[in-house]
Structure 1
Amino acid sequence: MVTLWFGGTFYTMNREGEKVDAVVTERGIIKALGNVSELEQTFGSEITEKVNIKGGFAYPGFVDSHLHMIGHGERLIRLDLSEVDSAMTMKELLMKKVEEAEAGDWIIGEGWNENNFSDRKIFHFTELDEIAPEHPMLLKRICRHALLANSKAMELAKVQIETPDPQGGVIVRDTDGLPTGYFLDEAQELIKQSVPEDSRQYLHKALTKSVDDMLQLGLVGGHTEDLSYYGSPDRPLQAFEEVIDGQKKKFRAHLLVHHQVAKTVEQEFAKKFSEHPYIELGAVKMFADGALGGRTALLSSPYNDAPETNGVAIHSEEELAEIIKFARSIKRPVAIHTIGDLAVEYALNAIEKYPLIGELPDRLIHVQVLRPELVERMKKLSLILDIQPSFVATDFPWVEERLGYERLPLAFAWKALLEHGFVCAGGSDAPIESVNPLVGIHAAVTRRKLSEDHEGYLPDQKLTMFEAIQLYTSGSAAAINKQDRFGLIKEGFAADFTILEKDLFTLKGNDIIDANPIMTVVDETVMYEQ
C-alpha cells in the first residue's frame, strides 16, 4: 500500500528550516518527499490512499528517551499528588481516599513534592496515622527516590527502631532514633515489599492507559524501565506484548532492563523479543545515586544547605563495576542513573574499566551536576546523555540552595553539553514529570515554569527550538543506534510522524504548550487523531 500524506507542512529535521509539502510512504517506510503534484505525477496509480493532515505541522515521531511507562499509567489511575501545592490540600485528598477505600486497602499516592508547599512540610508517620489509622499508607515522592509510610505500613514491613539502614538507603529517624516514616532510596524497598503484588490485569490496565495517553500527546515511542518493579519480569513483559499487539495498537517500546532481572530476561526472553517489530530489549539499567530533592544525589562535596551529607551511593564503586562487567558479558550496553558529579565519576571509572561491547551506546541518565574534568573524560567514550528538560522548570530555584552557586555553571547544562559535541536524548522520567513532550520542549527553550515570566534559570543554557525538537527525534534514535532509520523525515526512514496543530518554529513562551497534537502516526498507521 502506497500512501500520500499531504495538506500541511512536513519538517524533515534533516537541517534547520528544511520542509516539504507532502510525503509518500509504503509498508511503514518513507518512499519520497516533495510537493503534491510532483509526487502524484511520479507515483500515479501506485497511490492507494491519501491522508490529509488538515493544515498541520508534521515532525519525525517524538520519542521519550527515558520514562517508566507502567508507572505513568499508575499515576493516571492512582491518587495523583503531583499538582498539590499545600500540606493541607494533600491531607484533604488523602482523607477522601481513605473514605473511599475498603477495609485493609493500601492507600497509595503518587508524586507529592514538599518544595511546592510554602512550609516545605514532610509528613510524620503520626500525622499519617491520624488520616489512616486502619489502612497501610505509602506515598511516593515526585522523584521516586523517597516515600512516606504510616505506622501500619511500617508494622507490615517489620520496620522498628533497631532496623538498620540498608546499603544505598536511609531510614530517616528522629533524635531518639525512631523512624519518622520517611524512607530514602533503597530503604523504600522495606515498605514496597509489603505491598500486595499487582495483578496482571492491573498491569495491563496501567500500560494501556499509559500508551493511549502517550499517543494522544504525540509520542510514537518510549525508552522505558519497568521490568523489576512488579514481581517476576515476565509479568510486565506479558503486559507489553498484550497491549502493543501491532494491530490495534502500534507503539515503539524500547525496554531498559534493570540489572537485578537482567540475567533472567537475557536467558528467557532475549531471543523472543529480538524478533518483535515494536518491542525490544535494550541496555542494562542501574542506579549510581539518588536525587537532589531528598539530598541523596551523590556529590563530590557536601550539600550547600546540608553540609552533613554529600548524598548516597546506591552501590559501592566495586559493585557498580561488577554490574557493568556482567552487562558486558551478555554484550549489553549500560544505562546509569547519575545525578550527582561523584555518581558520574563512579560510572566513568567502571565504564573505562569495562569498555563497551556491541553496537548500542552506553548512556548516562540525568547528568545534572558535572565537573569540567568529567566532561573531558566523557568525550572519550561512546556515550549518549539522557536529559530531562522539565527538571529545570521543577527543580529551580530550590536546587540552587542544594548546590550553591559554585556548582551551577555545569548544572543542568544542556546547551554546554551540546556544544561539547554530545548527542543528547530528551525524556520526561514520567511519572516523575509530565510525559507531554511539549512540556519538555518548552522547558528546554525557556528554562522556566509555565507559571513564570522571566529570562529563565541559567538562561545561557537555553536550547533553540531546532535543538529542543532534536532531543525527542534524532537524539532518541541515536540513543538506541537507530539514527539511520528513525528521527528524520527522509527517504528510507520509518513513517512515524508527530503532527501538531501549530508550527513550533513560530511559537514562543507558553504558546509552545498549545501546539496540540492532531495526529500521531506509527509505522504508517494513524494511532491517534484529534
Structure 2
Amino acid sequence: MYFLRRTATQYPFELKSLLTFGKMKTRKRRYGVRRAVGTLWYNGKIYTMNDESESVEAVVTHNGRIKAVGTKKEMKNKWNETITTYVDLKGGVVFPGFVDSHLHMIGYGESMLRLDLSQLKSADDMKKALLEKARELKRGQWLLGEGWNENNFPDRKIFHRQELDEIAPDNPVVLTRVCRHAILANSKALELGQVTAETENPSGGVIVRDNDGEATGYLLDAAQELVREAVPEVTDEYLEEALTAALDDMVKKGLVGGHTEDLNYYGGFAQTFDTFTKVIDGKKRKFRAHLLVHHEVVEDMKNKGFTYGEVNEYLSFGGMKIFADGALGGRTALLRQPYNDAPETSGVAMHTRDELKELVKKARSFEMPVAIHTIGDLALEYAIEAVEEYPAPPRTMDRFIHLQIAPSDLRERLKSLPVALDIQPRFVASDFPWVEERLGTWRLPYSFAWKTLLKEGLNCAGGSDAPIEPVDPLLGIHAAVTRKSPGEDHEGYMPEQKLTPFEAVSLFTTGSAKAIGKEETYGKILPGYAADFTVLDKDILTAQPDEILTASVLQTVIDETIVYQKEEEED
C-alpha cells in the first residue's frame, strides 16, 4: 500500500496517469506518438470560488495551468485536439486547492515524531504518558514532549520541575505547551541551560519562580531559549523525516500549500532551507511552501543570494517574521488593560515600540514585507504604528498573524494599510470558554471576531498554526461556520461571528492567495490559475454544518499531478 501511495507523487503526470487504477484514460496519435499533454477533469461539481454560486462541470488543464472551464461538451469540442488524458471525478466536489496560511510545517512533523501530549485530559494522564516514555529512554537522553494544555485538565495543573524530576530522574525533560510560547523543564534541563535563581529574565521572556526565587521549570516566550539551546542539534535526517511526515499528512487532508515559519529553529537558515529543497523537489513531492523568514536569519537568506519572492514554482520566501507578543494561554499576549483573571499582568512585549519599529525598518531595507505575530490589542497597536511609520514596499502586503483582539480604533487604522490578517478559526473551538476568564466579557465583542473583520473589508486568510491546532482545513472551516468544538451542543461561542461556508472556504483559498499577492495565480478555478485542486466527497457549501466533519478528501492535486488519492490507501 505504501508503494502505491508513493507512486502517485513520484512519477511525472504523463506516466502517473497510467497508474491510477482505471481512473484516467489516455489517447494517442497514430503511430503511437503522444499529443502535447492536456487533461480534462469532468463528472464533478467544480466550484470556481469566483462567486458563491459559481460552479462548472469540467476543467481543461495543461502544463500545470488551467486552460478553460465549462461543460464537458464545451471542453471536448473546443480542446479535443489537445486533450490526451481524462480524469473522471466520479461525482466529487472540487475546490481550488486548500492552503494553510500559517503553520509550522517542520514543527508539525516533529509533533508526529515526538511524544504527543495534546489529547490528554488530565494531569494524571500526562504523568502516565511521561513515565511510560521515560522508561523507553537511555540515561541522559532528552525526553521531549509536545502539546500539553493545562486548560484541558480539571485542576488546570502546571507541573513543577521537581515533579518532572521524579518522573524522569535520569533524563533532561522539555515539554512544549500547545501554544509554543511556554515550556516545562526539569532540574537537569535547567542545569544544562544554566538557569539558576540568579538568572535574570531575558528580554521578552519570563522565568516563573517560586516564593524562594527558584525557577519552577515553567519558562515563557524568550525564556524558553535558555533551555532550548542546550537541546542537542537536530540532524539532516531528522529534519527530512519530520518534514516528510508533515507533507504526507497535509496532502492527505487536502492541502496543496502552506505558509510556514521554520527557518530559525533547526540548526539555522541553511540547514532548514536545504531540508525544504530536498523534500519538496518537484519530482517525488510537490507542494507550495511559502517560507516566512524570521528576523534573526534574514541576513542569512541574503548572504545565500536569496531575496523576497519565488525560488521556484514550489518554494518562495515570504515576509520577515517578527513576534510582537506571546499567547493568551500563558498570559503573555500583550493587552492594553490587565488580564481579567490576573490583574497583576498585561502580558509580555517581545520588543519595545521603538525596537519593533527598528525591525520593520530592517525588513524594508531588504525590500521585504513583514509578518508580525500580534495576539493582544496592545501588540497590534505596536505593529500598526511600526508599519505606518515604515510602509510596505510597493506591490507587497504586510501580514498580521492571529489578531485575536482587535478593537474598533485599530480596525479603522488597518483599513488604510496593505495588510492581510492570518486568522485561525480553530482557536475559537480550543480557547473557549476559558479565554473568557482571561479577557473578561467586556473584551469579547472585538475578540476572535472573524465576521466583523470580513464585514469591514479586511483581507483575511485561514490557517491552523499547526502543530498548535490540527492541520486539517475541514476542522478550521467547521470552526469558522459553527464557532464551537465538534460534538458540542450549543449555538456557538459569539454566534453573531459565524461565517458562511463560502466565507470559511474562501479563507483557505482566495484568502491565502491574496495574502501573498498571488490572487491572480492561486485560489480560484479559472483560466490562467494553477491546476491545484482539493476534491471532496460531499458539498461542504450546501451540507449541514456538522456534515463538514464527515467529508473525506478524495484527491489532492498539485500542479496537475494527483499527489493523494483516497482509493490508493484503501486498496
Deviation at 1:300, TM superposition (A): 0.3
Q: Deviations over 1:37-91 (max 9, x none)?
A: 2211211131110111221100000000000000000001111111100001111
What's the counterpart of residue 53 of structure 1?
Answer: 89
Higher alpha-carbon deviation: 228-237 or 141-150: 228-237
Matched, 1:143 2:192: no
Matched, 1:309 2:345: yes
269 and 89 in structure 1: CA distance in 2 versus 1, 3 angstrom threshold? farther
CA contact (8 A) 2:308 2:368 kept: no
Deviation at 1:510, TM superposition (A): 2.6
Provide the C-alpha distance between the structure 2 equivalents of 1:263 and 1:238, rounded to a whole number of angstroms. 16
Task: Among all aligned residue pairs of Structure 1 and Structure 2, give the percentage whose two residues are the same amino acid.
Answer: 58
1:145 counterpart letter in structure 2: H
Provide the C-alpha distance between the structure 1 equivalents of 2:165 and 2:305, rounded to a whole number of angstroms. 43
Provide the C-alpha distance between the structure 1 equivalents of 2:308 and 2:154, rounded to a whole number of angstroms. 51
Matched, 1:350 2:381: no
Matched, 1:489 2:550: no
Deviation at 1:359, TM superposition (A): 2.0
CA contact (8 A) 1:333 1:356 kept: yes
Provide the C-alpha distance between the structure 2 equivalents of 1:460 and 1:273, rounded to a whole number of angstroms. 38
What's the counterpart of residue 241 of structure 1?
Answer: 277
Higher alpha-carbon deviation: 498-507 or 334-343: 498-507
Q: Deviations over 1:86-133 (max 9, x none)?
A: 001111111111111122110000000000000000000011011000
State the SS of the aligned residue for 2:84.
strand
CA contact (8 A) 2:301 2:307 kept: no
CA contact (8 A) 1:368 1:411 kept: yes
Which runs of structure 2 are paired with 1:455-474 in the superposition (5 Å)? 455-474=491-510
Q: Deviations over 1:161-199 (max 9, x none)?
A: 111000100000111111100000000000100000000
CA contact (8 A) 1:214 1:436 kept: yes
Which runs of structure 2 are paired with 1:26-41 in the superposition (5 Å)? 26-41=62-77
CA contact (8 A) 1:477 1:483 kept: yes
2:561 to 501, 517, 525: 525
Higher alpha-carbon deviation: 438-447 or 270-279: 270-279
2:430 to 382, 391, 394: 394
275 and 164 in structure 1: CA distance in 2 versus 1, 3 angstrom threshold? closer
Gaps of 5+ in 1: none
Provide the C-alpha distance between the structure 2 equivalents of 1:328 and 1:267, rounded to a whole number of angstroms. 17
What's the counterpart of residue 408 of structure 1?
Answer: 444
What's the counterpart of residue 221 of structure 1?
Answer: 257
State the SS of the aligned residue for 1:191.
helix
Matched, 1:498 2:537: no
2:234 to 198, 205, 208: 198
Higher alpha-carbon deviation: 338-347 or 272-281: 272-281
2:506 counterpart letter in structure 1: Q
Deviation at 1:371, TM superposition (A): 1.5
Q: Deviations over 1:354-387 (max 9, x none)?
A: 1111322001001101221111111111110000
What's the counterpart of residue 543 of structure 2?
Answer: 507
Provide the C-alpha distance between the structure 2 equivalents of 1:269 and 1:441, rounded to a whole number of angstroms. 38
State the SS of the aligned residue for 1:10.
strand
State the SS of the aligned residue for 1:315.
coil
Provide the C-alpha distance between the structure 2 equivalents of 1:109 and 1:232, rounded to a whole number of angstroms. 22
272 and 385 in structure 1: CA distance in 2 versus 1, 3 angstrom threshold? closer
State the SS of the aligned residue for 2:541.
helix
Matched, 1:79 2:112: no
What's the counterpart of residue 299 of structure 1?
Answer: 335
Deviation at 1:273, TM superposition (A): 7.5
What's the counterpart of residue 133 of structure 1?
Answer: 169
Question: Given the two structures, how large is their TM-score scaled by the length of structure 2?
Answer: 0.92
What's the counterpart of residue 5 of structure 2?
Answer: none
Provide the C-alpha distance between the structure 1 equivalents of 2:544 and 2:333, rounded to a whole number of angstroms. 33
What's the counterpart of residue 106 of structure 1?
Answer: 142
What's the counterpart of residue 477 of structure 2?
Answer: 441
CA contact (8 A) 1:298 1:341 kept: yes
CA contact (8 A) 1:171 1:187 kept: yes
CA contact (8 A) 2:308 2:318 kept: no
Provide the C-alpha distance between the structure 1 equivalents of 2:359 and 2:470, rounded to a whole number of angstroms. 31
Structure 1 consecutive aligned stretches of length 4 or more whose deviation exceeds 6 Å: none
Provide the C-alpha distance between the structure 1 equivalents of 2:454 and 2:74, rounded to a whole number of angstroms. 38
Matched, 1:23 2:62: no
CA contact (8 A) 2:114 2:144 kept: yes
1:69 counterpart letter in structure 2: M
2:365 to 329, 334, 338: 329
Provide the C-alpha distance between the structure 2 equivalents of 1:271 and 1:400, rounded to a whole number of angstroms. 42
Provide the C-alpha distance between the structure 2 equivalents of 1:215 and 1:24, rounded to a whole number of angstroms. 22
What's the counterpart of residue 189 of structure 2?
Answer: 153
Deviation at 1:348, TM superposition (A): 0.7
Deviation at 1:508, TM superposition (A): 2.2
State the SS of the aligned residue for 1:21.
strand
Matched, 1:266 2:302: yes
What's the counterpart of residue 405 of structure 2?
Answer: 369
CA contact (8 A) 1:360 1:479 kept: no
1:229 counterpart letter in structure 2: Y
Provide the C-alpha distance between the structure 2 equivalents of 1:351 and 1:271, rounded to a whole number of angstroms. 20
State the SS of the aligned residue for 1:453.
coil
Matched, 1:232 2:268: yes
What's the counterpart of residue 514 of structure 2?
Answer: 478
1:336 counterpart letter in structure 2: I
What's the counterpart of residue 95 of structure 1?
Answer: 131
CA RMSD, Structure 1 to Structure 2 (Å): 1.0
What's the counterpart of residue 320 of structure 2?
Answer: 284
CA contact (8 A) 1:58 1:498 kept: yes
Gaps of 5+ in 2: 1-36, 567-571
Deviation at 1:247, TM superposition (A): 0.9
Matched, 1:170 2:206: yes
CA contact (8 A) 1:59 1:497 kept: yes
185 and 271 in structure 1: CA distance in 2 versus 1, 3 angstrom threshold? closer
Provide the C-alpha distance between the structure 2 equivalents of 1:495 and 1:279, rounded to a whole number of angstroms. 16
Provide the C-alpha distance between the structure 2 equivalents of 1:53 and 1:458, rounded to a whole number of angstroms. 38
Deviation at 1:263, TM superposition (A): 1.2
